Structure 1
Amino acid sequence: MRRVEHVMGFPVSVRVDDEGFPEAAVDGLFAWLHEVDARFSPFRPDSEVSRLDRGEVSEPSPALGEVLDLCEEYRVATGGAFDVRLPGRGLDPCAVVKGWSVQKGAELLAAAGARRFCLNAGGDVVAAGGPWRVGVRHPEHADQLCTVLDLTDRAVATSARYERGDHIIDGRTGRPATGLLSLTVVAPTLTEADTVATAAFALGAEGVAWAAARENCEVFAVDAGHRVLRSPGFPGKRAATQPTG
């Protein structure tokens, strides 16, 4: 079973290797992701996030409340570097919503009986069963990899400057975070991997050690000086094109 759809501004692909897996379960996965996009996108004026930000909703739904609680947890943990309520900007919880919603989607597949599957959301991956080989893009060359992972029942996410430029803001300064070129986190869930990667990137160079110190997280990063930094347990293999410095 394989399918690709464009959701939340990026391609989402799923491959399920379990024989006879029901297509209706994959339909349910993508229906959930489209629902999340409609409800939680800050770019849709009628979304719950936009209406809450304008004061038209007094209390968030339980799902959005869960997302906002995670946002606050990481704001506190980073001393304000990670912040979804930046001055002069509207509420934007996308940094949490993506990993959180895709992880929930993976749990829907598992509940439907999937045991060996790979769910890839714009390069961030949930790998169930395995092992699955996942490449991490070189931060400066789109056609090259800097490391390759063998993942089993893990998730991986990367925050970087190569797709959207300097879009991650250090909430402590209000300026773009530029201390790193890319930072990849492997964790038990994509909720954690994606949020830790973004929060660590917002911290800059100090974010590598911060992410590596979090329980069950392994880190691979390339700093602005092209130095490669990795935690001892990071499951990646060096690629021939890995940056050096």
Structure 2
Amino acid sequence: MTRAPRRHVEVAQIMGTAVSVHAVGDPDRAVFERATAACFDELREADRVFSPYRDDSDILRIARGELAMRDASPWVAEVAEACAQAESDTGGLFTAWWSGVFDPTGYVKGWAVERAARRHLAPLADSPGVIAAGINAGGDLQLFTAPGADWTWNVAVVDPADRSRVLATVPVRDGAVATSGTAERGTHLVDPRSGHPAVGGVASATVVAAGLAHADVWATAAVVAGFDDLGWIPRAGPTAGILVAGDGRVRRWLDGVEIEAVAATW
């Protein structure tokens, strides 16, 4: 019997959630620890710059008029430009200005995790002894597999009404998976078009894309658009995904085309 490859995991609490770094195979311990530490340090710095809960964050200082955006971390201008592009791409289903001030909370985690993962974990996946490497930030994933490795990450999409039930398993070698919805946090997302909570009936929206920032934006857009509106999926580019309604209905799409609609089973 072939022995399953070992998985090495380190976990830290950052940006208000559990963040875990994974390496599959037999990495050099020092190399793994350096990559993990660098990844966590970059995420902590992103939290310092963008946290809506830290009085000293650049974002809150900008909102209070204490700091000009041009004098803030260069990351702020980078994220602002990306958020403006996301607002245009989604047709207003996503915006970082819904409250009247710049609030990139809905974008930053995916952006920061993808950025840190590409800088520190993608090289880890290419190092001797490593088959694959990835990061999980509160259920949002950025994953890498070494070229030629016989490995696939199998990501479970769980039923939002029953976390013990798996609705689908998504195979990913190199890519990202993001999930948004109302099942766990209630109606916490605002529809920028109305200024009111998004109540389109989506319990969870899972999006698979090349990068986590992109997947995260479109998972948010899917919840805001609502279960009955898939008119946005051609604009999302090369993505796949699954929507689950509060009544158990399921819709799936692949690269802009709906491939399945399933009636409620509970």
TM-score interval for Structure 1 and Structure 2 normalised by the shorter chain:
0.7 to 0.9
Gaps of 5+ in 2: 1-7, 127-131, 146-150
Q: What is the root-mean-square deviation in Å for CA atoms of aligned residues?
A: 2.3
Per-residue CA deviation, residues 167-217 of structure 1 (Å, 9 max, x unaligned), is 011011111112111111100011111111112222223653413542211
**Alpha-carbon spacing, 1:111–1:123, altered in 2? closer, same or farther (3 Å):** closer
In the alignment, structure 1 residue 47 sits paired with structure 2 residue 57: yes
Shift of 1:84: 2.0
| 8 Å CA contact 1:222, 1:243 repeated in 2 | no
Describe the SS at the equivalent of 1:83.
Answer: coil
Determine the C-alpha separation between the residues in 2 that align with 1:35 and 1:162: 30
In structure 2, the partner of 1:230 is 252
* Structure whose residues are more often strand by fraction: 2
Report matched runs for 1:108-119 at 5 Å: 108-110=119-121, 112-115=123-126, 116-119=132-135
In structure 1, the partner of 2:28 is 20
Identity %: 36
Q: Aligned letter for 1:41?
A: S
Report matched runs for 1:24-173 at 5 Å: 24-58=34-68, 59=70, 60-87=72-99, 91-110=102-121, 112-115=123-126, 116-129=132-145, 130-173=151-194
Number of paired residues? 238
Using the TM superposition, name which of 169-178 and 204-213 deviates more: 204-213
Higher relative contact order (CA 8 A, sep 6+): 1
Q: Aligned letter for 1:86?
A: W
Provide TM-score, normalisation by structure 2: 0.81
Q: Aligned letter for 2:250?
A: V
Provide TM-score, normalisation by structure 1: 0.88
| 8 Å CA contact 1:75, 1:83 repeated in 2 | yes
Larger radius of gyration: 2
Per-residue CA deviation, residues 64-96 of structure 1 (Å, 9 max, x unaligned), is 111111211222233333222224x65421211
Q: Aligned letter for 1:113?
A: L
Determine the C-alpha separation between the residues in 1 that align with 2:264 and 2:177: 20
Determine the C-alpha separation between the residues in 1 that align with 2:249 and 2:101: 35
Per-residue CA deviation, residues 37-85 of structure 1 (Å, 9 max, x unaligned), is 1111111111001111112121243211111112112222333332222
Determine the C-alpha separation between the residues in 1 that align with 2:93 and 2:120: 34
| 8 Å CA contact 2:94, 2:221 repeated in 1 | yes
Q: Aligned letter for 2:167?
A: C
Determine the C-alpha separation between the residues in 2 that align with 1:232 and 1:47: 38
Determine the C-alpha separation between the residues in 2 that align with 1:203 and 1:233: 17
In structure 2, the partner of 1:189 is 211
| 8 Å CA contact 1:5, 1:11 repeated in 2 | yes
